[in-house]
Amino acid sequence: MKAIERLLVATDFSPCADAAAQVAAQLAEQLGATICVMTMVDTTAARDAPGDAATRQLRVEALCGVAQQQLRGFADRYFAASDTVRCEVVDSGVDVNPCADIVRTAAQSDCDLIVLGTHGRSGLDHFLIGSVAEKVVRTSPIPTLVVRGAT
């Protein structure tokens, strides 16, 4: 079995993601692993807004900048004890697919484990809303740890 040296922690800044970050922080400390924290930004509205291309690009960059600051705060809150934390904001652009973004970022970052939270929805809510965590587990070639948040 390959050693776990790099963790990807995906966050949507929900309480479920907070629960996953707490588990990932403990794991990283125990394993001496580095951490990549990521979030996705849907910039579709900024790209489709009226105005010239330069103005739209500035809006996209502003959205990504805000997300980067929020992600840095998340990383500082949960992974301050870690020597190596990288923050990655993924611009979903026109193809909003959180599952694919998570799996792709983990592969590009050469991560050995993906850690993410789940709301634990079931029944009609699960059918209508779906589960990013479930899709990551089903499609990722990288082992995935799913942490259920408080409901």
**Domain assignment of residue 97, yes or no:** yes
3-class DSSP assignment, residue 123: helix
Quick check: pTM over 0.75?
A: yes
Residues 90, 41: contact at Cβ < 8 Å? Answer: yes
Kindly write down the DSSP assignment for every residue of 47-62, as one continuous string: HHSSS-HHHHHHHHHH
Domain that holds residue 49: 6-148
pLDDT bucket at 151, cuts 50 / 70 / 90: low
User: What is the total count of domains within the chain?
Assistant: 1
Residues 42, 98: contact at Cβ < 8 Å? Answer: no
pLDDT tens column, 120-150: 655 544 444 458 888 999 999 999 999 987 6
pLDDT tens column, 65-88: 999 999 999 999 999 877 789 999
**Domain assignment of residue 92, yes or no:** yes
Residues 146, 116: contact at Cβ < 8 Å? Answer: yes
Higher pLDDT, 28 or 53: 28
Question: What CATH number does the domain containing 97 carry?
Answer: 3.40.50.620
In this prediction, residue 130 carries a pLDDT of: 54
**Domain assignment of residue 1, yes or no:** no
